[in-house]
Chains A and B, each alone.
Chain A
Amino acid sequence: MTRTATGANDGHADVRIPALTVSAVGKDFGGIVALSQVSLDVHDAEIVAIVGDNGAGKSTLIKIIAGAEQPTRGELLIDGNRVELHRPSDARRHGIEVVYQDLALADSQEVSMNMFLGREITRTPLKLLQKRRMRAETTSILAELDVHIPSPRSIVRTLSGGQRQGVAIGRAVHWAGRLVLMDEPTAALGVQETARVEQTISLLRERGQAVLLVSHNLDQVFRLSDRIYVLRRGSVAGHVRTAESSPESAIALITGGQ
């Protein structure tokens, strides 16, 4: 889980090999071009946002990076090495974890079981669950991210939306070797909870995590991200450094107006 977090991602970042490189990726569904050609990269300790109107190709791009769809052309590189993601488990194996807006958690289970869902710590030969260890690790993972829950044994259903998304992000960060992909992580949350989750996302950069954030919420994108890629009609219509741009110019890029 440790990686070199140089934090130097202003101007000189391009020298390093990106955690994720999307290279001229396109996707056709039958005769329809969903994604014509998209290239982007994400470095460690960096939050890169993808914005775009409905139908711009965001969800197709997410699915390709998550391993749920295969690109028709182009390639994905992790740490500069070409990878083939035929299914979501391939993406996970390469260290890509996805946080969905609809909170892919098992609500009736306790937090620690969700944290280790599908990757439980067990003792062979009977594959007995090491519940105590999983709870202890859950506590420390969430404490590091400043996500407050009553107990690792709390049933997820009893948590607030923000706490749940905190758990989902904690899980993604814990298992993501290379990249956390967030698909509208606060779309289902209220104002306060959104603020809380945004704090958690900011913390990821400080920890050296590479984060790709897909969001409709431009204010959020400008609060959180280091760079922004604007998608329009399946291509990158613009790529800006957040600090040097403004929501107004981003909107212009999104809508295609000048």
Chain B
Amino acid sequence: MAGRSEVSPDVGTEVTTGVLSPSARSGWSLGRLDPRGAIVYVSLGLLFVVFSILLRNQGFLSQNNLFNIVLQAATIAVMACAYVFVLAAGEIDLSIGSTVALSAMVTAAALQSHGLLFGILAGLGTGLAVGAVNAALVTVAGIPSFLATLATLSIGQGLARSINNLQTLDVSSNAYDTIFGSGAVAGVSTLFIWMVLVAAVAWVAFHSARLGAHVRATGDNRKAAAAVGIRVRRIRASVLIFSSLAAALAGMLYAGRIQSASYTLGETDLLTVIAAVIIGGTSLSGGRGTIPGALAGSVLLAMLNNGLILAGLSVAQQSVALGIIIVLAVILGRDRQASS
């Protein structure tokens, strides 16, 4: 009991007022879209204005072209939504590109041999299987996700190539093409509907449900999360399965849209998806993420790609431009606390 009066009561106020400003700012009304994340919306708006002016004679603003941008963004957005969970949980999944190709090839083969329902189940089953392998490698074998998914990337590529000896497979089921990408319901593209569905589920699950809170806590401080009873192994396994499932769905959407499947599908998607998610404001080091940001990032990259094509840039030049954009986005969105 002795000496407790030494603690002067005004010490506390000194301590608290000294650190008020940064946190007060982070408590603004759109809490989930933190200020760093706002960059993507501003960039998206700016890019749209710039292209609208510079590319007005190339038909940038035509309804058809804008429609194309959204459709191109859709498959990336499907994967990006799941990828927010992966990065926020502090994991990474390098295998999504090969999962896209593998599920497209498996779906096409299964459609040809066993029909519509089996084709769909086989495609989604492929995603589930790859995700389960990734999850087992990470949570059971204890291999870091970077290495585990690097291995499954290679395996997936090999399998996708061997399914039809590097040959393309036709997807000639009308019903399948209608459901996955080429068709429309009440005038709305099914590709777009898939994106909206995935985004809506991801948005609620990540931002409003307990699942998202546990994913962020796991990526933020795994030890602390485990200490309060969060099942971190289950969370880490889940996000890898989400990501593979989304990649499989994306592969099926590609196959439906172009009505064929090839082992080259999704080859460059990993970079695009990570870029979309990071530009959107999700932290590469875990603990933070945003679904609306990832959606905006997907549209931004699709618009950029579209604009550069209209401007007459080659594929090689576009690739360089994408790299530069990613670097800029990472610099602009860098965590100020982490760099200080």
Contact = CB atoms under 8 A, between A and B. Distances in A.
Interface of A: 88-89, 92, 98, 104-110, 113, 117-120, 122, 126-129, 146, 148-151, 153-155, 157-160, 162-163, 192-193, 195-196, 198-199, 202, 222-224, 226, 242-243
A150 B20 contact: yes
A223 B27 contact: no
A106 B224 contact: yes
Given A151-B27, A158-B23, A242-B2, 8 more contacts: A108-B220, A108-B287, A118-B230, A154-B27, A158-B26, A192-B14, A199-B9, A223-B4
Nearest to B205: A126
A178 to B, nearest CB: 17
Contact of B1 (A120, A129, A199, A243): A243
A154 B224 contact: no
Nearest to A151: B27
Contacts of B7: 195, 198-199, 202, 223
Interface in B178-229: 204, 208-211, 213-214, 216-217, 220-221, 223-225, 227-229
Contacts of B339: none
A107 B287 contact: yes
B229 A118 contact: yes
A119 B3 CA distance: 37
B288 interface: yes
B224 A150 contact: no
Contacts of A122: 209-210
A106 B225 contact: yes
Interface of B: 1-4, 6-9, 11-16, 18-20, 22-24, 26-27, 31, 204, 208-211, 213-214, 216-217, 220-221, 223-225, 227-230, 283, 287-288, 337
A167 to B, nearest CB: 12
Residue in B15, B24, B31, B211 with the greatest tally of chain A CB atoms within 10 Å: B15
Nearest to B18: A160
Q: What are the 7 closest A-B residue pairs judged by CB atoms, nearest first? A: A118-B228, A158-B23, A108-B287, A154-B23, A106-B220, A104-B224, A148-B16
Contacts of B11: 192, 195-196, 199
A117 B15 contact: no
B19 A196 contact: no
Contacts of A105: 221, 224
B3 A222 contact: yes
B209 A128 contact: yes
Contact of A109 (B9, B12, B19, B287): B287
Given A106-B224, A118-B228, A146-B12, A113 B213 contact: yes
A224 B5 CA distance: 10
Contact of A129 (B16, B23, B210): B210
A224 B221 CA distance: 30
A135 to B, nearest CB: 10
A66 to B, nearest CB: 9
A92 B287 CA distance: 25
B221 A107 contact: yes
Contacts of B14: 192
B227 A104 contact: yes
